[in-house]
């Protein structure tokens, strides 16, 4: 079973591709309990060199009666740091049998901090990711482990002490605001996976449960959402590509 979380659809694209290639079902993380007899493949973005914090909390809370094999597939804009080590530890506390972590390089979506690639470049990055996704599916279908990357001291530092600092300073929704281009269409409210947005006097209001997934700002049809001044003029990236199909 593929269980995924995705803000701007990169991880949804990978999850749906894996589901097609493996002939398995694919469910968003909030939808229901983890209950078929196949290994679980967790697919999600990388946030500050680890899987998103709320996602690991959900996995830990889901404690399964029968230990299940668990694979991790993390999409990232550049690297996943020492995520494999963190995922292995998470599996121990969640009663899961750890089967490895794979990184899939996808377009950067974090426009509150970095530039996203142009649409053409983003398409090329997604095309280049396909052999890696097919290879991951092949390994999972054969019951093989996904080979963890070797942790460097730098990556241990990033996934270790830097990660909580990043959450403390940057993962917040106070900086979101809307320009006069907002037409009260409620798209941001519908697309927010954390159900953190409501409409107040025709404008979106964020309520503090944000995980900085960028879904609202990246998919606003009017480009009416900004993040402080940092997002001004930056390309909004959202993945609309068709998942890989089994031939």
Ligand X SMILES: Cc1cc2nc3c(=O)[nH]c(=O)nc-3n(C[C@H](O)[C@H](O)[C@H](O)COP(=O)(O)O)c2cc1C
CA distance 157 to 49: 10
Fill in the per-residue mask, 77 to 96: x = in contact with ligand X (CB under 6 A), - = not in contact.
xxx-----------------
- Give the DSSP letter string of 172-237: -STTEEE-TT-----HHHHH-TT--EEEETTEEEE-S------HHHHH-TT--EEETTTTTTPPP-
List 42, 47, 98, 206, residue binding ligand X (CB under 6 A): 47
Q: Is 11 in the site for ligand X (CB under 6 A)?
A: yes
Q: Is 10 in the site for ligand X (CB under 6 A)?
A: yes
Q: Is 102 in the site for ligand X (CB under 6 A)?
A: no
Binding segment (CB under 6 A) for ligand X, from list 60-68, 103-111, 125-133, 223-231: 103-111
117-127 core/surface letters (b: 16 or more CB in 10 A; e: else): beeeebeebbe
CB atoms within 10 A of CB 145: 14
Q: Is 8 in the site for ligand X (CB under 6 A)?
A: yes
Residue whose token pair is 């480009």: 223
Tell me whether residue 47 or residue 206 sits nearer to ligand X (CB atom).
47
List 214, 216, 220, 224, residue binding ligand X (CB under 6 A): 214
Sign for the CA dihedral angle at 127, 154, 58, 22 comes to positive
Fill in the per-residue mask, 165 to 204: x = in contact with ligand X (CB under 6 A), - = not in contact.
----------------------------------------
CA angle (77, 80, 197) in 5-degree steps: 60
Instruction: Residue 188: name the closest of 180, 201, 199 by CA.
Output: 199
Tell me whether residue 13 or residue 98 sits nearer to ligand X (CB atom).
13
Tell me whether residue 97 or residue 127 sits nearer to ligand X (CB atom).
127
Q: Is 149 in the site for ligand X (CB under 6 A)?
A: no
Tell me whether residue 46 or residue 87 sits nearer to ligand X (CB atom).
46
Tell me whether residue 48 or residue 224 sits nearer to ligand X (CB atom).
48
Q: Is 243 in the site for ligand X (CB under 6 A)?
A: no
Which residue intervals of the chain are DSSP H helices?
10-22, 53-61, 83-94, 119-141, 153-157, 163-170, 187-191, 215-219
Binding segment (CB under 6 A) for ligand X, from list 2-10, 16-24, 117-125, 196-204: 2-10
Tell me whether residue 96 or residue 216 sits nearer to ligand X (CB atom).
216
CA angle (66, 102, 49) in 5-degree steps: 100
Tell me whether residue 54 or residue 177 sits nearer to ligand X (CB atom).
54
Residues interacting with ligand X, by CB under 6 A? 6-11, 45-49, 75-79, 106, 108-110, 212-214, 239
């Amino acid at each position: 079973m593929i269980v995924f979380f995705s803000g701007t659809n990169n991880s949804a694209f990978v999850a749906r591709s894996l589901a097609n290639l493996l002939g398995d079902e694919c469910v968003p993380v909030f939808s229901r309990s983890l209950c078929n007899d196949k290994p679980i493949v967790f697919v999600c973005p990388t946030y500050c060199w680890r899987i998103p914090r709320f996602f690991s909390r959900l996995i830990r809370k889901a404690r399964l009666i029968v230990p299940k094999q668990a694979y991790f597939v993390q999409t990232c804009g550049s690297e996943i740091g020492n995520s494999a080590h963190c995922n292995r530890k998470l599996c121990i506390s969640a009663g899961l049998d750890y089967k490895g972590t794979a990184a899939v390089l996808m377009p950067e979506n974090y426009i509150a901090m970095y530039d996203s690639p142009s649409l053409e470049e983003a398409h090329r990055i997604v095309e280049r990711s396909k052999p890696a996704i097919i290879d991951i599916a092949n390994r999972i279908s054969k019951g093989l482990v996904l080979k963890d990357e070797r942790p460097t001291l730098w990556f241990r530092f990033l996934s270790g002490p830097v990660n909580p600092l990043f959450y403390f300073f940057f993962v917040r929704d106070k900086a979101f605001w809307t320009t006069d281009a907002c037409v009260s269409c409620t798209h941001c409210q519908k697309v927010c996976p954390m159900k953190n947005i409501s409409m107040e006097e025709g404008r979106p209001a964020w309520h503090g449960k944000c995980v900085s997934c960028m879904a609202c700002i990246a998919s606003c049809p009017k480009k009416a959402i900004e993040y402080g001044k940092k997002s001004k003029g930056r390309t909004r990236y959202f993945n609309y590509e068709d998942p890989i199909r089994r031939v």
